[in-house]
Structure 1
Amino acid sequence: METLIVKAEKKYDIYIDSNWLEDVQKEILSKYPEEKILVVIDENVDKIYAEKLVTLFSKKRVKKYILPSGENSKNINEYASILAELARSNFTRNDLIIALGGGVVGDLGGFVASTYLRGIRFIQIPTTLLSMIDSSIGGKTAIDFDNKKNIIGAFYSPTNVYIDTKLLETLPEEELLSGYGELVKYAILDKKIYKLINKDIEIKDLIKACLSYKKSIVQKDFKEKNLRMLLNLGHTIGHAIEAKSKFRIKHGAAVALGIIYATKISNKLNLLKESEQIKIFNLLKKFNLYSEKEFDVKDYVYSDKKISSNGKINFVAMQKIGKCKIIAITLEEFIKLL
């Protein structure tokens, strides 16, 4: 087992291993022997792993809230429904929420935990590659609203994160591709990860490398005042593409498309050499994420959370593999660069 300790606004541990879902359930029940537990679980995860989650759900104090799969479930109605379940069951601040699924479950479950009774403990058990390498740590929780992604949310860290890489074996191809989109992002940000991708290493080690990089950023800038904005590489256009597709395009795939746009913009701004652009495009092609398709997303960019009060957008530009920087561009200039 690998362990990472995150020290952001609070300290928590990330445990990484393979084929240990049964042990995870036993450990949680042992750590919380009397507390009520609500498991927010993705409907597909519930179907696939019902038999392997018997240890957890055999306890009467453990309740289950099944969430429909997909980004469209990350809405205010599901949020209110989970709150109602907690209130009806008289959950206290000492009780526990478990988010068992991908990024949608983690974002929604975490936001519920951050607001119910002004904060209740919650554990992340990510089941997708994207949530394992990115969204399960860092403390960002949110729901979508008015067709705008993550527009209502809070910074709220989990109590613990348990990662079982065995769960990736049942992951659909489109979910794997979504995870690869975030993986490419980390490889561009960190040269060590870029080099690791071309080596024959276990997925567990690749996950740990991404989490270690994100941990180093989050510990310095938990609430995204400056340095953490680098993690938004590809997200300005990526979020716009997601919204335009009504979230039919998976988050990581949209981020990959956003990276293509960001690469071309960085080149237009004379920040990224042609040779480095080719490296980035080849990296995307390696994971079957490169596309020449264009998207008219101008209207969606105007609702981006990264727009400052002076009307400028904080854009993550690339200079080379392992070196990116945040630049402030007026919306008008940014739109012209698309």
Structure 2
Amino acid sequence: MKRFSVTTSRPYDILVGENLLPQVGALLGEQLAPCKVSLITDSRVNGIYAQVVMTSLMENGFQVSKIVFPEGEHSKNITTYKNVLEALSEENLSRSDLIVALGGGVVGDLSGFAAATYLRGIRYIQVPTTYLAAVDSSVGGKTGINLLTGKNLAGAFWQPSMVICDYRTFDTLEDAERLNGAAEAIKSGMIMEANLIDHVLARDYEHVIGRCVSIKKSIVEADERDTGMRQLLNFGHTIGHSLEKLSAYKIPHGHAVARGMVVESRAAFRMGLTDFDASPFLTETLQTNGFDLRIPYSREELLKYALNDKKISGDNIAMVVPEVIGKCRLQKIPLSELGHFIECGLE
């Protein structure tokens, strides 16, 4: 087992290893006294992993209840969020109690937002069960839900008390879900560590998770509130989030980000924002590994949702521009040029 310590406004450890789910209660008990725990998960993960985690918690003195909602991005909405808050209240959780988010990015984001806002903030831990959540969304304290106009538009910064990642849970993932995580890991390689990409392609999960966690840890520690360099982690996300919304989330997050990285790289080169065109490398790498990179929407359709991007400040938007494989920078462009930027990125 590897341990990483994140030094943010609320410091916490990230534990990465094999067969950690049966140890969740013991690992948690090393840092927290027994208390009430509300385990939040989705309908798919509930049938696979919930019982082993609940048993581990109860064996270590925790009083456990469970909240389950339907799997999928469509559950990441204000109705599910409300239902979770009501359930927490019915269980009489107090500020000294705890939420355990067991699942992928949807479970983690929604549970974290509930933790941030219930009683104005209670503790929670992340137990990611997907590759995507392990390499990205479980770390860094971004929580939230989707609104009708776009993705992750309501939320809060709320750091977990611990992250416990058992990568044996990836054994039950379908190929499409593995690709979701691979895209985010390739993104981390693109912005900061080129040789990470080879490990992603080799499915060297332990190495990839460790390096992605280390990269994100260093960025989050430097910019916890996402006002500067943390925006590098959004490479491919301006277009990616638009694709998710336009497809009614039929294009999953990682697959959308993969397409977004290609479009944004091509656009940055064609607009003269960089001398390096990363799009041929990304296209070959992603297509060889099973990604569909087609963009079935027009410039106007993509622009509509891109204008809700959280990297917009005033009349500008910060785009992530590759300089070489393994190094990117932020480049502000006027919002009036965003439509042209998107057009330049489309084939």
TM-score normalized with structure 2 length: 0.91
User: Residues 195 and 144 of structure 1: is their aligned pair in 2 closer, same or farther, counting only changes over 3 Å?
Assistant: closer
Q: 1:139 aligns with which of 134, 138, 141?
A: 141
1:230-270 residue CA offsets vs partner (Å, 9 max, x unmatched)? 11100001011111111121111111111111111111123
Contact 2:146 2:153 in 1 (8 A): yes
Q: 2:157 aligns with which of 155, 176, 184?
A: 155
1:308 pairs with 2:313 = yes
Write the letter of the residue equivalent to 1:307: I
Q: Distance in 2 between matches of 1:336 and 1:233?
A: 18
Q: Offset of 1:331 from its aligned partner?
A: 2.1
User: Residues 50 and 100 of structure 1: is their aligned pair in 2 closer, same or farther, counting only changes over 3 Å?
Assistant: closer
Contact 2:26 2:57 in 1 (8 A): no
Contact 1:107 1:141 in 2 (8 A): yes
SS of the aligned residue for 2:313 comes to coil
Corresponding residue pairs, total: 337
Contact 2:199 2:207 in 1 (8 A): no
Q: Offset of 1:323 from its aligned partner?
A: 1.8
Write the letter of the residue equivalent to 1:82: V
Q: Distance in 1 between matches of 2:162 and 2:170?
A: 20
Aligned to 1:330: 334
Write the letter of the residue equivalent to 1:166: R
Write the letter of the residue equivalent to 1:92: S
Counting aligned pairs with the same residue, the percent is 37
Equivalent positions of 1:237-276 (< 5 A) are 237-273=239-275, 276=278
Contact 1:15 1:161 in 2 (8 A): yes
SS of the aligned residue for 1:219 comes to helix
Q: Distance in 1 between matches of 2:119 and 2:99?
A: 13
Q: Offset of 1:282 from its aligned partner?
A: 2.2
Q: 1:130 aligns with which of 132, 136, 159?
A: 132
Q: Distance in 2 between matches of 1:146 and 1:271?
A: 32
Write the letter of the residue equivalent to 2:336: E
SS of the aligned residue for 1:239 comes to helix
User: Residues 22 and 250 of structure 1: is their aligned pair in 2 closer, same or farther, counting only changes over 3 Å?
Assistant: same
Q: Distance in 2 between matches of 1:248 and 1:294?
A: 12
User: Residues 242 and 132 of structure 1: is their aligned pair in 2 closer, same or farther, counting only changes over 3 Å?
Assistant: same
User: Residues 99 and 272 of structure 1: is their aligned pair in 2 closer, same or farther, counting only changes over 3 Å?
Assistant: same
77-86 vs 18-27, greater mean Cα deviation:
18-27
Q: Distance in 1 between matches of 2:320 and 2:276?
A: 18
Write the letter of the residue equivalent to 1:96: L
Contact 2:40 2:102 in 1 (8 A): yes
Aligned to 1:24: 24
Q: Offset of 1:29 from its aligned partner?
A: 5.4
Write the letter of the residue equivalent to 1:7: T
Aligned to 2:40: 40
Contact 2:258 2:293 in 1 (8 A): no
Equivalent positions of 1:227-238 (< 5 A) are 227-238=229-240
Contact 1:260 1:290 in 2 (8 A): no
SS of the aligned residue for 2:222 comes to coil
Aligned to 1:113: 115
Contact 1:29 1:56 in 2 (8 A): no
Contact 2:194 2:325 in 1 (8 A): no
Q: Distance in 1 between matches of 2:77 and 2:66?
A: 18
Q: What stretches of structure 1 of length at least 5 have no aligned partner?
A: none
Q: Distance in 2 between matches of 1:69 and 1:332?
A: 38
Aligned to 1:320: 324
User: Residues 303 and 198 of structure 1: is their aligned pair in 2 closer, same or farther, counting only changes over 3 Å?
Assistant: closer
User: Residues 51 and 143 of structure 1: is their aligned pair in 2 closer, same or farther, counting only changes over 3 Å?
Assistant: closer
Write the letter of the residue equivalent to 1:197: H
Q: What stretches of structure 2 of length at least 5 have no aligned partner?
A: 343-347
Q: Offset of 1:156 from its aligned partner?
A: 0.6
User: Residues 223 and 24 of structure 1: is their aligned pair in 2 closer, same or farther, counting only changes over 3 Å?
Assistant: same
User: Residues 50 and 324 of structure 1: is their aligned pair in 2 closer, same or farther, counting only changes over 3 Å?
Assistant: closer
User: Residues 193 and 14 of structure 1: is their aligned pair in 2 closer, same or farther, counting only changes over 3 Å?
Assistant: farther
1:288 pairs with 2:290 = yes
1:12 pairs with 2:12 = yes
TM-score normalized with structure 1 length: 0.93
10-19 vs 40-49, greater mean Cα deviation:
40-49
Contact 1:75 1:145 in 2 (8 A): yes
Aligned to 1:189: 191
User: Residues 323 and 271 of structure 1: is their aligned pair in 2 closer, same or farther, counting only changes over 3 Å?
Assistant: farther
1:44-79 residue CA offsets vs partner (Å, 9 max, x unmatched)? 111123553451476782010012111111111111
